[in-house]
Amino acid sequence: MSLDLPKTIGAFVLVTALGIGSLYLLPELTPMAPMTTQTIMMMVLPSMALFGAIMLAIGVKHGEYRASH
């Protein structure tokens, strides 16, 4: 399977959307104190996106290294 830029961005957005979407469902599934929408959008989403972008960059560089050696 070859990954190009649109497929990579699509997978990144899909994984992030699944994570954020599951936080919206969390109050219905567990008796924990629910996270507010403001907390999810202002704290969780940016940190999830930043962490994902860093891991994607590290993975791309590692793949380039493996392909060249």
Residue 47: the pLDDT is 95
- The total domain count for the chain is 1
Q: Give the residue numbers spanning the domain of 9.
A: 5-68
Token readout for 50 is 């930043």
Which pTM was predicted? 0.78
Please choose, from the candidates 51, 44, 50, the residue with its C-alpha nearest in 3D space to the C-alpha of residue 21: 44
What's the pLDDT tens digit per position in 5-51?
899 999 999 999 999 998 888 766 666 667 788 888 999 999 999 99
1 pLDDT tier (thresholds 50, 70, 90): low
For range 43-69, the mean pLDDT: 94
